[in-house]
Structure 1
Amino acid sequence: MSATTPRARARARTMEDIVRIGRDHLAVHGAAALSLRAVARDLGVVSSAVYRYVRSRDELLTLLVIDGYTELADAVDAALAPDSADSEAPARRLRALGVAMRDWALAEPARYGLLFGTPVPGYHAPAERTVAPGTRVIGALLRILGNAYRAGLLGEPDPLPPVSPALAADLARIGAEFDLALPDWALVRGLSVWSGLIGAVSAEVFDMYGADTFTDRAEVFDRQLDNLCALAGLGDAPNG
């Protein structure tokens, strides 16, 4: 059936409403307490009607995961879009990516928690549906490093860190997945930057610092970005 038919458009609107209500319930009740019956009630239909669109709570969680990853990645893409060349000012681009991720996470803490927080008991995200949207942001980060490396702007460690054959094979697979020609040391740095960025954002979203520890958390995050740029091999200049 064509996506332009009235029935298809009505179904698309209903799916959008289900995801929107699911977001609201996620923010209020948390992922583990999501209920299709409650979604049906707020949608104004009997519970059996919702099952024609969403088969189970896990299916609703998957829709919310995809929705969250997609919106986060769109926010990052928008933050990077003003720069026409990825190879120019890579540290500035890496910082823009980090700030966009932090801003989205602080605005959407429940959805960020679904993506990067404690796993929902009994739920396993289907890789065939969630990997593509879920790797868009780390893909953008690795492309920043890849373009910096090709432009000669990525500092090389001396000596080079040891990499086992097993890890080298994993890194080759990751490089192929993102269509990157990065040496092993640069990919390892990229993974370290990614995990450090998630840690920095999560510490703030989940209030791991404590309420009275820092006066200006944005400045704390700015200094963390300095360190992540240096870790990536981009030096410690904020706009390098």
Structure 2
Amino acid sequence: VAEVEGVFPHRDELLTALVIDAYEESGTAMEEADRNACAAGASAGTRLLAVTRALRTWSFDNSAAFTLIYGSPVPGYHAPQDTVPAATRTPAVLAGIVRSALAAGELTPPRRTVPGPPLLRPEAVQLFGGTPDAPFADLVERGMVLWSNLIGLLVFQVFSRTHDSVRDESAYFDFAIAVAAESIGLVVPLDGTPGREDTA
């Protein structure tokens, strides 16, 4: 304890270090999975499944770190700007896959584009690389929905919210990712390949 207090004299400094570590580790897991998928010549849909599975595995194996960054906020703690670069690594992986799919013509145009003013802040649009042309003008917003679905799904599974209602957590995860990916026009092939051996 004394050694920790010597390095982090204040609680917020320790929390910030832990938050950054959690984001960096989860980002690394997704980036490595994407590199491996790309090396194998995977489609964008297969890459998406690979990186989301990697984040799921990391989340189960590091549930305390997952809870710190995606669970209930720590009372009185507000993450500083120092955490932003690390926090953007995981959504940046998803954005990169979606951009690649768009460039390769792997996305199916949506049946309708959601009308109205831009829904996201410029920083989020910049992370994606700008707003695509029609018919994918709302692709960044759809990508945010995909990201939100992923994190919400992980929260449900890590905190055992689906344990009593789902037969196979891994298969359900893959199915949910495939369904969510349809919102951006991306096909995720489900060939029965196992995602993660559940211990529960």
Q: Which residue of 2 aligns with 1:119?
A: 73
Q: Report if aligned partners of 2:174, 2:190 keep a CA contact under 8 Å in 1.
A: no
C-alpha distance in 2 between matches for 1:236 and 1:143: 16
Query: Do residues 57 (structure 1) and 6 (structure 2) align?
Result: no
Identity of aligned residues (%): 34
For residues 135-183 of structure 1, give each alpha carbon's deviation from its aligned partner in whole angstroms, at most 9, with x where no partner exists.
Answer: 101011011111111111111113321031x537x3x542324434535
Relative to its length, the structure with more helix (as a share) is: 1
CA-based RMSD: 2.3
Q: Which residue of 2 aligns with 1:136?
A: 89
> With structure 1 as the length reference, what TM-score do the two structures score?
0.71
TM-score by length of 2: 0.85
Deviations along 1:209-233, one digit per CA (max 9) or x if unpaired, are 24x3333211111111221221221
Structure 1: distance between partners of 2:189 and 2:72: 35
User: Given the alignment, which residue of 168, 173, 186 partners 1:234?
Assistant: 186
Distance in 1, matches of 2:59 and 2:101, equals 27
Q: Map Cα deviations across residues 87-126 of structure 1 (whole Å, 9 max, x no partner).
A: 9511101101110010000011111000100000000000
1:149 is aligned to 102
Which letter does structure 2 place at the counterpart of 1:100? Answer: A
Give the whole-Å Cα distance in 1 for the aligned partners of 2:94 and 2:119.
20
Deviations 1:183-212 (A, max 9, x none): 5411111001000000111101111124x3
Map 1:1-240 onto structure 2 (within 5 A): 39-40=1-2, 43=3, 50-84=4-38, 89-127=43-81, 129-164=82-117, 166-167=118-119, 170=121, 172-180=122-130, 182-183=132-133, 184-210=137-163, 212-235=164-187, 237-238=189-190
Unmatched runs of 5 consecutive residues or more in structure 2? 192-200
For CA contacts below 8 A with separation 6 or more, give which structure has more relative contact order. 2
Kept after mapping to 2: 8 A contact 1:146/1:182: no
Aligned residues: 188
Q: Evaluate the alpha carbon distance shift between residue 173 and residue 115 of structure 1 in structure 2; reply closer, same or farther with a 3 A threshold.
A: closer
What 5-or-longer segments of structure 1 have no aligned partner? 1-38, 44-49
Larger radius of gyration, structure 1 or 2? 1
Query: In 2, Cα distance between the equivalents of 1:131 and 1:99?
Result: 23
Q: What residue in structure 1 maps to residue 197 of structure 2?
A: none
Shift of 1:52: 4.2
Amino acid at match of 2:91: I
From the superposition, tell whether residues 56 and 173 of structure 1 become closer, same or farther in structure 2 (CA, over 3 Å). Answer: closer
CA contact (8 A) 1:143 1:180 kept: no
